[in-house]
Amino acid sequence: MGQEVFYITFFPFIYWNINPYVARRLMIMWSVVMYIGQISKDLLKWPRPCSPPVVKLEKRTIAEYGMPSTHAMASTAISFTFVIATMNLYKYRIELGLMGAFVFSTLVGLSRIYTGMHTVLDVIVGSLISGLLVALMYPTWDFLDHLMLTSPWCPVFCIVVPLLLCYNYPKLDYYTPTRADTTVILGASAGTMIGFWINNHYKANYSAAVVSSLSVTAEMVLIALSRFLVGICFLVVTRQIAKGMALRALCSWYKVSVDDPIAKLRIEIEVPYKFITYSSIGLSAAVLVPLLHEILGLN
């Protein structure tokens, strides 16, 4: 969890196979919580646990700062938002849902301590911040959802505001992947929310319905898996095409080589190419993949 593979599979699965209503709330909370977590790291600049004595089992994010744990923040926000968003839609014991959310977020937090990437304090603070944000934003979910689906300014807001946040990300003395990861998160969220807006205006008005009972059949499982596999294949192709085109266009504009790894880290290249790539993925997941499902008869 916490890597691109998880997000590019989990959120689309929820949207395609569970409930668009739930997916919208998850996207709102994920983008807000992750942005606050990412920017907090680079403002606080608390180092990760020292090695030795800690043995670090993960290398990709070793250059990032540690406080707070964004994995703990994401797992807390996603699991508890999922439970809160579904408790009035599906009939199940809320105690079991909350227990499952607590166990899931705890296991993710413990895994970050085990891999040597965070201290116990990093994980606890991350979980508390995330829980506080969920509690504060819960009363605004319906308002934000309505605004996202109906406001004519939604597409403009979803492009301009995330780009401003990415370009004005805190500057550090050395490069870390936090700015790139933040751009990926905000780009994917922007594309997905624009897709929700398009669906509401031009395709279908998704609304939540209470499900009193749900019997899962083998046919339903097969259709869900088919929808998921078709959608993921489409998103992988979209990612490759969007990334290649955006990177080549930007490198050509700034007269640098596409194969130059240092040039790709420059803010004027990294931010727009990441944003274009992942907003394209989000838009495809929300609009194009459901259309493909209809064409293939997978509804």
Look at residue 208 in the predicted model and tell me its pLDDT: 45
Q: How far apart are CA 44 and CA 62, in angstroms?
A: 16
Tell me the average pLDDT across 221-231: 89
Q: If you write DSSP's letter for every residue of 16-35 in order, what string do you get?
A: III-HHHHHHHHHHHHHHHH
User: Of 152, 41, 55, 61, which Cα lies nearest the Cα of 113?
Assistant: 55
User: Known catalytic residue: 118?
Assistant: yes
Q: How far apart are CA 188 and CA 157, in angstroms?
A: 14
Look at residue 76 in the predicted model and tell me its pLDDT: 93
- Could you tell me what percent of the chain has a pLDDT over 70? 91
Q: How far apart are CA 291 and CA 297, in angstroms?
A: 10
Of 5 and 252, the one with more pLDDT: 252
Q: How far apart are CA 210 and CA 89, in angstroms?
A: 4
User: Known catalytic residue: 201?
Assistant: no
Of 91 and 63, the one with more pLDDT: 91
Tell me the average pLDDT across 230-242: 93
Q: Which two tokens stand for residue 39?
A: 């920017």
| DSSP assignment letter at 211 | B
Q: Crossing angle of helices 120-137/94-114, nearest 10°?
A: 150
- Could you tell me what percent of the chain has a pLDDT over 90? 43
Q: Are the C-beta atoms of 282 and 192 separated by less than 8 Å?
A: yes
Look at residue 206 in the predicted model and tell me its pLDDT: 46
pLDDT tens track for 155-209? 999 999 999 999 988 887 777 788 888 999 999 999 999 999 998 887 654 444 4
**Confidence category of residue 90, pLDDT binned at 50, 70, 90:** confident
Of 49 and 134, the one with more pLDDT: 134
Look at residue 54 in the predicted model and tell me its pLDDT: 72
